[in-house]
Chain A
Amino acid sequence: MAAAAIINAALATGREGQAHLSFRGLRKVYADGVAALDGVTAHVARGEFCVVLGPSGSGKSTLLRAVNGLTDLTAGEMVLGDTVLTPKTLHSIRRRVAMVHQQFNLVERVSVAANVLSGAVAEVPGWRAMLGWYPPALRQRTCEVVARVGLDELHLTRRASALSGGQQQRVGIARALLLKPEIILADEPVASLDPAISREVLGLLREAAREQGATVLCSLHQTDLAREFADRIIGMRKGRVVFDGKPALFDARAEAELYEGLAVPGAEPKEKIYA
């Protein structure tokens, strides 16, 4: 028993040692007393495409938004590589973390190129940011990432609003790829797209991230897409991790537990999920 404990501990530390992104006991309690994160501990390995699943309100978005500081944590510790995330280190970390948003969050009135370049707005000197005059290397990089997400030269100068939803999310991904981030946070990136386009966009995100060696933390609500694309699935319910493992292990039973709350310790009996 002692030996087993030692082996378990060694496995845990070994796994944690390789982790690119670690969450330890994350808690987020909103002012109204709702706990969006209620003790989340998980470790994401470098280069992994990790999908976070869970019903609405389970804390998926809050978890992602905590990584780049869009949400402050109430308690817990996050480690990115060898840097502990604190308000002080946040700024240096944001450079290494990019985000793909559910609603694309593009500036619709400006061109695709300007939207992609805005991914570097925090990194260029102030006068360049104010004039919108990005250095040639970044402009060249913009062309590369726009090509990488499957758009062509004609799209560069087109307004974001003139693009279809799928194309807009491609621009969102290009913006995230621009600075070669270590981590890409994707907050329900395909929630507003139709199934075929969703599959394309998610495949693109996975391949493009893999080429750069970026770790992806992607929240989804389509379990079939999660099974298809994830290297690893983290299931969340009511702010807690209730599933963590390979997609192969995420079977119908696990899905039922995650979404219906069956046989989850401490959870209330069956209840319908609204909102």
Chain B
Amino acid sequence: MREAILETGGHPRPATEWHLRAPYDWRAALAVLLIALALIWSGQRMEVGKMLRLTGEAVLAGVGLQEESQVGKGLGRMIGALFPFVIADKQEMARLSDIDRDNLPRFTRIETVEVTSYHLNAETLQAEPQVETKEYLVHPFGYLIKVLSKMVETFEIAIWATIIAVLLSIPLAFFGARNYTPNRFAYSASRGIVSFLRSMPELIIAMFLVLGFGFGAIAGYLALGLHGAGFLGKFYAEDIEGADPKPQEALTALGAGKFRVLRAAVLPQVAPSYVAYTLYILDRNVRMAAVIGLVGAGGIGQELKGRYDTFDYGHVGTILLVIFLTVFVLDQVAARLRARLIG
């Protein structure tokens, strides 16, 4: 400002000669045109047209304006198979050893099913019906309880993954914040690690870790924790950089070192967004913990994968419902927590 005035010798130009530029010019138009062309090109490769046509057919079939659609049939069959949700647990008595018939486990009952099977009579050479009775030990909510306990395990995986992500991202954020990093090398190293962690898909990290740590929760929460650190490290660092410098200067003037300034002047400013990022990572970890179970990294995903592979779609339906309800409840809790901590 001062220099600009010095350049004009202290005599600003009259306002009639000023020029205020329009917000858009030919460069903006060109950019819009180029983006549109790129999207048209990409849209063909991604079969966006086909996607729209098939979706349209499915919608028309859904409201009864069209006989049937490919998408509707495929999805309908699959979704239909999810119902009814299986919540009971059924085990054949013959396979259960040491079970006391007079003293069954709580809530369970024995169901008898008559099974008719046809056997070839060697003399008459005719298939004759033969009625067999099979007994099952039925726990009416057995499977639901199993899924819920798996969900608890999944939630534990998500919690530990979040703790690991937060702990790892604190030093990453310190070294990755331009105004606090001790030197350029530490800054680049931290930013590099953060990008690397974020660019590795959890599923792949989990697959590698399963090789190292074996099947189970350890591989699960480590994989999610590492990926989460890549996310949190980046956002924590950017918030530190963007914090209001005035209180930081006030404390620096009192002789406070970097850590004390961070704690007393920066942390209170960034706390609301840190809470929001961390809750998002927790939410994401719950959802992703269900996915990485697919590669044997523990939790409900392992159960989901097993049931899917054995075509027990009723069970799959129960699992999906429980995951949805968990995410929904977590979202409500997180919203309240956020309001309380930020408000």
Residue B328, interface by CB 8 Å:
no
In-complex Cβ contact of B247 among A95, A98, A107, A271 (8 A): A107
A129 to B266 Cα, complex, angstroms: 13
CB of B1 within 8 A of CB of A118, answer: no
Give Cα A130–Cα B257 distance, bound, in whole angstroms. Answer: 12
Confirm or deny: A275 has a beta carbon within 8 angstroms of a beta carbon on chain B. Answer: yes
B11 nearest CB neighbor, chain A only:
A272
Please state if A121 and B264 are interface contacts (CB–CB under 8 Å).
yes
Shortest CB distance B33–A (Å): 42
- Chain B residue at smallest Cβ distance from A120: B254
Interface string of A115-141 (1 = CB under 8 A from B): 000110110001001101000000000
A147 within 8 A of B: no
Cβ contact within 8 Å between B2 and A274 = yes
Establish whether residues A91 and B247, one from each chain, have CB atoms under 8 Å apart when the complex forms.
no
A95 with B255: CB separation less than 8 A: yes
Q: A101 to B246, Cβ gap below 8 A?
A: yes
Q: Say whether A118 contacts B264, CB under 8 Å.
A: yes
Q: How far is the CA of A116 from the CA of B277 in the complex (A)?
A: 29
Q: How far is the CB of B133 from chain A (nearest CB, A)?
A: 69
Task: Answer whether A121 and B251 are a contact pair too, CB < 8 Å, given A109-B271, A130-B259, A130-B263.
Answer: yes
Size bin of chain A's contact surface: 20 to 34
Give Cα distance in the complex from A81 to B79, angstroms.
83
Quick one: which of B2, B246, B247, B252 has the most chain A CB within 10 A? B247
Given A103-B246, A109-B269, A126-B259, are A68 and B253 neighbors across the interface (CB < 8 Å)?
A: yes
The reply to whether B259 and A122 form a contact with Cβ atoms under 8 Å apart is no
A119 to chain B, nearest CB (A): 6
- Residues of chain B lying within 8 A (CB to CB) of residue A69: 253
A105 touches B246 (CB 8 A): yes
Give chain A residues whose Cβ lies under 8 Å from the Cβ of B252: 70
List B residues 158-201 near A (Cβ within 8 Å).
none
B250 contacts the other chain (CB 8 A): yes
> At the interface, yes or no: A110 with Cβ under 8 Å from chain B?
yes
Task: Take A106-B247, A109-B271, A272-B10 as given contacts and tell me if A94 and B259 are in contact as well, using a CB distance cutoff of 8 Å.
Answer: no
Contact across chains for B255 and A105 when beta carbons are under 8 A apart:
no
A107-B265, A107-B269 known; A271+B254 contact, CB < 8 A: no
B residues 107-148 in Cβ contact with A at 8 Å: none
User: Which of A105, A109, A126 lies in contact with B249, CB distance below 8 A?
Assistant: A105
Chain B window 11-29, contacts with chain A (Cβ cutoff 8 Å), 1 for yes, 0 for no = 0000000000000000000
| List of B residues within 8 angstroms of A271 by Cβ | 10
Contact A122 B2 (CB under 8 A): no
Residues of B contacting A39 in the complex (Cβ-Cβ under 8 angstroms): none
Q: Does A99 lie at the interface of the complex (its beta carbon under 8 Å from any beta carbon of B)? A: yes
Q: Which of A75-117 contact B (CB under 8 A)?
A: 90-91, 94-95, 98-99, 101, 103-110, 114
A57-B2, A109-B272, A132-B264 known; 8 new pairs, CB 8 Å cut-off, are A101-B250, A103-B246, A105-B249, A114-B264, A121-B264, A122-B251, A130-B259, A275-B5
12 contacts across the A-B interface (CB closer than 8 A): A99-B250, A101-B246, A104-B246, A106-B247, A108-B244, A108-B269, A109-B271, A118-B264, A121-B251, A121-B254, A175-B250, A274-B1
B residues adjacent to A (C-beta < 8 A): 1-2, 5, 10, 244, 246-247, 249-257, 259-261, 263-265, 268-269, 271-272
The 8 closest A-B pairs by CB, nearest first: A94-B255, A105-B250, A122-B256, A105-B246, A122-B255, A275-B2, A107-B247, A110-B268
